[in-house]
């Protein structure tokens, strides 16, 4: 790889320590690359891609490595193209409510810059303070606010990207609408770095909501949590977040960081409303009424400090889970919202019959459950049992009209399950689209497809 | 075509009168097909497609023929596949806020069925009482409410479709989220009937807004109309519609159907707010303040009858324009919202220098202008001048960061201009995607690509 470092002096490394640092993501999988490159601009990206194309070397575009399904884990002999230094916010167009960013800008950083101008970019994956907008676009990231505001794809207006042979393309528009030709932008969003390397992103933003109210509700029965969710939406109220934590999650949080959550509850909901103060106050009252009738115990926060306190439990979930077992098999199934109680019952049954601890939390408003199987990878019997259970969970999810991934994508960890959801003809179309963009299969090979 | 009528007895016609009726759309272009088929269900669609595939006959999927760019105009020797009898609303899932429909259901009919259940499907193309949801999906239709609620693609969750070789595919999900594999749903939306025949559509719907307020504002200066639009949005107010009509449009309306619009005005805005009564009342007051400071004269409607009265002018635009000249060259450019005044000035200049009457109206909130060149196709000199002017208008639009089509698509009428907006590499990707879906090029051939 000497030639690569000649091409991009000072921006390339083959130092074993760097290779280790860029060989994994949040899936827990790892495989060191043969080189890491930190492009500074699109010209650098094109140089790397042309080099890789000429030498038939795999290239793995990488945001911050917070992906859950191994999308950024290198394949054999690969160059990691770490986009972290292409992190400029190029333009904030306040008049037209759009921003132009490089892929390496952190989601949280963009949020803060917009906030200062009283603007708002809704997608907020749990990793928002670490993850990049480029990674969000590649994975079509969701977040807690998706129930009201949708996911990343709903905000991407246009892209600049480098094709696997080094050609630069521009897709989409700068305007609110545009219907000229096929939607290449939409195709690149969620393509998990397999079709092109994204180098610029034009996003739609919104005016900042006037005010936010946060509610925490404790329920004695899991069943009633699901009922509360359905009844809130049936009232015509769309909260901006509608998160739930089950009993096992609450226990894990309390063990990791005692917050003082009640011990005798079965589940809790974290509900956030945003909009005009008078309206959300009334909506909060309605929600309180619904939850009280379902024996929920309610805490309300109307200022930033109180709100932060209520979010404490939700934010502690991820680190807490890392403390309760050596391995966490982390899925993100979605079922139609009305099927949430049924799915939670099924998961409880699976846990009881298999003896495997299952911890559930997630975006109840979307029917999106983060299902965590707590095991030990070194305990072969247990681990294999858990892997089998994942398949059963996916089967039950699909039978209820759901999907096996609402946010995390397929990557490496789900590629052997993709055929459970996507039929052979649809998969064939996708593979042929991959071949249109990347005929020599150098861009993030081995991902998505079995 | 005897064999086709044997395959689908009673559902096929080669009667010259039928062929004439199904040989045109709202673009004004026409070319009779060799047969029309009215499938009743997906089995019928597959029969037609397999027949066409085996015999290499072009197939033109058709909604209601309200398209503006010739998307449904048959190519030589084609079979028209009229989806009008596949018009069932299969399911309205009130709990999960989704509906499942066949492609032939009318947009307006769906709107009314949902209204009864206090649900709401926002996309409202001007032709909503005649156009089909299938056509809306194929063209990614917009409408007056797009400024707040987005366009058709923002509501399509999943599709069932027949590939050009007769295989049935299912794309997308029934759930709020889903990121498994490439977004085939998004690719089919707006593909103008060139990739697959859509046979079922799963749409997201919303709770019905509590109330609507409509405002009509007359301006003495076009410039100030544009300023009003920008200032309203800068206030953080997103009305659900923000429509404008220029002086020429107002004149045309008054000549066609005297409504009593003031004669001395340069432009008018039709503004509609929806949501919680207390909020939209306040927003309406703020908007009134903004418009008054810009010397606007305001009329407000808070009930259905008064609202209908205010919409009268807007609804009369289309028929009125058909009365002022034999030919209307109808474009639907979009510029970034802040460039709207500049674009309107440019159009005025073009009209003055060319002597061609240009009538503009449209969705000011989106920067989407319906530009109408009023000419006579039989006056060769004038018509050719107008065609040249279209190219100049497109060039100016693109220079301002816009797009040559916000709602109507490319079809036949814009295919010779597509390269002005889409680069050769991007166009090549699109053509290859077309070949992936339709290798023998039987599905709506000759559209989109030059």
pLDDT digits (tens), chain A, 450 positions:
458 999 999 999 999 999 999 999 999 899 999 999 999 999 999 999 999 999 999 999 999 999 999 999 999 999 999 999 999 999 999 999 999 999 999 999 999 999 999 999 999 999 999 999 999 999 999 999 999 999 999 999 999 999 999 999 999 999 999 999 999 999 999 999 999 999 999 999 999 999 999 999 999 998 899 899 989 998 889 999 999 999 999 999 999 988 888 888 999 999 999 999 999 999 999 999 999 999 999 999 878 888 888 888 888 898 898 888 888 899 999 999 999 999 999 999 999 999 999 999 999 999 999 999 999 989 999 999 999 999 999 999 999 999 999 999 999 999 999 999 999 999 999 999 999 999 999 999 999 999
Say yes or no: A82 contacts chain B, CB-CB below 8 A. no
Is residue A204 packed enough to be buried (19+ CB in 10 Å), middle (13-18) or exposed (0-12)? middle
Please tell me the distance in Å from A51's CA to the nearest CA on chain B: 20
> What pLDDT sits at residue A2?
55
Q: Does A118 sit within 8 Å of B236, measured CB to CB? A: yes
- Chain A residues whose beta carbon lies within 8 Å of the beta carbon of residue B421: 180-181
Q: Are A401 and A339 in contact (CB under 8 A)?
A: yes
> What pLDDT sits at residue A193?
98
> What pLDDT sits at residue B223?
86
Q: Does A169 sit within 8 Å of B429, measured CB to CB? A: yes
Q: What is the CA radius of gyration of chain A?
A: 22
Is the C-alpha dihedral spanning A433, A434, A438, A440 positive or negative?
negative
> What pLDDT sits at residue B327?
86
Question: How far is Cα A144 from Cα A396, in angstroms, rounded to an integer?
Answer: 24
Would you write out chain B's pLDDT as a tens digit for each of its 450 residues?
Answer: 458 999 999 999 999 999 999 999 999 899 999 999 999 999 999 999 999 999 999 999 999 999 999 999 999 999 999 999 999 999 999 999 999 999 999 999 999 999 999 999 999 999 999 999 999 999 999 999 999 999 999 999 999 999 999 999 999 999 999 999 999 999 999 999 999 999 999 999 999 999 999 999 999 998 899 899 989 998 889 999 999 999 999 999 999 988 888 888 999 999 999 999 999 999 999 999 999 999 999 999 878 888 888 888 888 898 898 888 888 899 999 999 999 999 999 999 999 999 999 999 999 999 999 999 999 989 999 999 999 999 999 999 999 999 999 999 999 999 999 999 999 999 999 999 999 999 999 999 999 999
Whole-model pTM above 0.95?
yes
Please tell me the distance in Å from B181's CA to the nearest CA on chain A: 7
Say yes or no: A164 contacts chain B, CB-CB below 8 A. no
**For residue B357, what are the contacts with CB-CB under 8 A and spacing of at least 6?**
B248, B324, B325, B351, B373, B374, B375
> What pLDDT sits at residue A11?
97
Please identify among residues 126-155 of chain A the ones whose CB lies closer than 8 Å to any CB of chain B. Answer: 139-140, 142, 146-147, 150-151, 153-154
How many helices, marked H, and strands, marked E, lie in chain B?
15, 18
State the SS3 of chain A. CHHHHHHCCCCEECCHHHHHHCCECCCCCECCCCEEECCCCHHHHHHHHHHHHHHCCCEEEECCCCCCCCCCCCCCCCEEEEHHHCCCEEEEECCCCEEEECCCCEHHHHHHHHHHCCEECCCCCCCCCCCEHHHHHHHCCCCCCHHHHCCHHHCEEEEEEECCCCCEEEEECCCCCCCCCCCHHHHHCCCCCCCCEEEEEEEECEECCCEEEEEEEEECCHHHHHHHHHHHHHCCCCCCEEEEEEHHHHHHHHHHCCCCCCCCCCEEEEEEEEECHHHHHHHHHHHHHHHHHCCCEEEEECCHHHHHHHHHHHHHHHHHHHHHCCEEEEEEEECCHHHHHHHHHHHHHHHHHHCCEEEEEEEHHHCEEEEEEEECCCCHHHHHHHHHHHHHHHHHHHHCCCECECCCCCCCCCCCCHHHHCCHHHHHHHHHHHHHHCCCCCECCCCCCC
Chain A with chain B: Cβ pairs closer than 8 A:
264
Q: Which of A46, A119, A175, A276 should be substituted to probe chain B, the one whose Cβ sees the most B Cβ atoms within 10 Å?
A: A175
For residue A337, give both structure tokens.
Answer: 């919202």
Quick: pLDDT tens for B189-232. Answer: 999 999 999 999 999 999 999 999 999 999 999 889 989 998 99
Please tell me the distance in Å from B97's CA to the nearest CA on chain A: 9
Largest CA distance in chain B: 69
Say yes or no: B365 contacts chain A, CB-CB below 8 A. yes
Q: Does B139 sit within 8 Å of A181, measured CB to CB? A: no
- Chain A residues whose beta carbon lies within 8 Å of the beta carbon of residue B176: 146-147, 334, 337, 365-368, 406
> What pLDDT sits at residue A304?
84
Q: Which of A176, A231, A240 should be substituted to probe chain B, the one whose Cβ sees the most B Cβ atoms within 10 Å?
A: A176
For residue A271, give both structure tokens.
Answer: 């509900």
Q: Are B335 and B307 in contact (CB under 8 A)?
A: no
For residue B191, the chain A residue with the least C-alpha distance is A182
For residue A279, the chain B residue with the least C-alpha distance is B276
Question: How far is Cα B387 from Cα B367, in angstroms, rounded to an integer?
Answer: 23
For residue A254, give both structure tokens.
Answer: 């309390």
- With H, G, I as helix, E, B as strand and everything else as coil, classify residue B243: strand
- Chain B residues whose beta carbon lies within 8 Å of the beta carbon of residue A401: 174-175
For residue A418, the chain B residue with the least C-alpha distance is B180
Please tell me the distance in Å from B15's CA to the nearest CA on chain A: 34
Say yes or no: A2 contacts chain B, CB-CB below 8 A. no
Is the C-alpha dihedral spanning A219, A223, A225, A227 positive or negative?
negative
For residue A404, the chain B residue with the least C-alpha distance is B180
């Amino acid at each position: 790889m000497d030639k690569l470092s000649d091409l991009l002096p000072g921006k390339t490394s083959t130092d074993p320590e760097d290779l280790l640092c860029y060989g994994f993501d949040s899936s827990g999988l790892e495989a060191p690359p043969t080189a890491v490159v930190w492009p500074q601009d699109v010209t650098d990206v094109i140089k790397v891609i042309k080099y890789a194309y000429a030498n038939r070397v795999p290239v793995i575009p990488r945001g911050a490595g917070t992906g859950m399904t191994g999308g950024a884990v290198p394949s054999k002999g690969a160059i990691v193209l770490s986009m972290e230094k292409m992190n400029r916010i190029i333009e904030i167009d306040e008049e037209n409510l759009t921003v132009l960013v490089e892929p390496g800008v952190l989601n949280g950083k963009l949020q803060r810059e917009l906030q200062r101008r009283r603007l708002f970019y809704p997608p907020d994956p749990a990793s928002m303070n670490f993850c990049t907008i480029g990674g969000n676009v590649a994975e079509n990231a969701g977040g807690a606010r998706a129930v009201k505001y949708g996911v990343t794809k709903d905000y991407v207006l246009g892209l600049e990207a480098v094709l696997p042979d080094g050609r630069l393309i521009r897709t989409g528009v700068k305007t609110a609408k545009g219907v000229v030709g096929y939607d290449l932008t939409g195709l690149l969003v969620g393509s998990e770095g397999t079709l092109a390397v994204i180098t610029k992103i034009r996003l739609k933003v919104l005016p900042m909501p006037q005010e936010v109210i946060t509610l925490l509700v404790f329920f004695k029965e899991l069943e009633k949590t699901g009922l509360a969710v359905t009844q809130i939406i049936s009232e015509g109220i769309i909260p901006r977040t509608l998160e739930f934590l089950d009993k096992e999650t609450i226990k894990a949080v309390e063990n990791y960081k005692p917050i003082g959550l009640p011990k005798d509850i079965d589940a809790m909901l974290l509900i956030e409303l945003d909009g005009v103060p008078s309206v959300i106050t009334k909506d909060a009252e309605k929600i309180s009424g619904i939850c009280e009738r379902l024996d929920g115990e309610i805490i309300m926060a109307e200022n930033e400090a109180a709100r932060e306190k209520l979010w404490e439990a939700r934010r502690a979930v991820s680190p807490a889970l890392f403390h309760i077992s050596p391995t966490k098999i982390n899925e993100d199934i979605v079922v139609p919202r009305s099927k949430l109680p049924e799915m939670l019952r099924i998961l409880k049954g699976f846990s009881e019959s298999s003896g495997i601890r299952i911890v559930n939390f997630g975006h109840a408003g979307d029917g999106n459950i983060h299902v965590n199987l707590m095991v030990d990878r070194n305990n072969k019997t247990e681990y294999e049992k858990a892997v089998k259970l994942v398949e059963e969970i996916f089967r039950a999810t699909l039978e209820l009209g759901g999907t096996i991934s609402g946010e995390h994508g397929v990557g490496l960890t789900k590629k052997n399950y993709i055929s459970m959801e996507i039929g052979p003809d649809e998969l064939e179309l996708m593979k042929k689209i991959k071949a249109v963009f990347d005929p020599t299969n150098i861009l993030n090979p081995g991902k998505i497809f079995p």
